[in-house]
Amino acid sequence: MANLFKRFLSANVGTAFTAVGAYSVPAANVGTVIGLSIANTANSGISVDVMLGNNTSNVFIVKNAPVPTGGSLVAVGGDQKVVMAVGDHIFVKSDTATSADAILSLLESTQQ
């Protein structure tokens, strides 16, 4: 089994769900999210939603989470991990246009 650390960025996330870095788990792989941080780049507080999903289902990791001015939200990190299956994406949305930057860190493993 091959393991590879990867990171993906999405700047200026706004009011539509955005796949962070447009990353999707490729065939014959699994992704383990080891970190997901969302920074508030606006001049006031924002609320963000984070979802894990694919073409058939989407579930919230956080919904309407407040991020103060100049602050950030660690949606996944520390002891918490999220496993992503083939075709899964991490989506982020803010309640304010072009107000958030997202960083996704993961370990991608090839399945045998």
Dihedral pair phi/psi, residue 94, rounded to 5°: -110, 160
- pLDDT range class, residue 55, cuts 50, 70, 90: confident
**Residue 62 maps to which CATH number?**
2.60.120
Range of the domain at 31: 3-110
Burial environment of residue 106 by CB neighbours within 10 A (0 to 12, 13 to 18, 19 or more): buried
Q: Give the position of tokens 């999405």.
A: 10
Closest CA to 85 of 106, 60, 63: 106
- pLDDT range class, residue 48, cuts 50, 70, 90: very high
The model carries a pTM of: 0.92
How many domains is the chain partitioned into structurally? 1
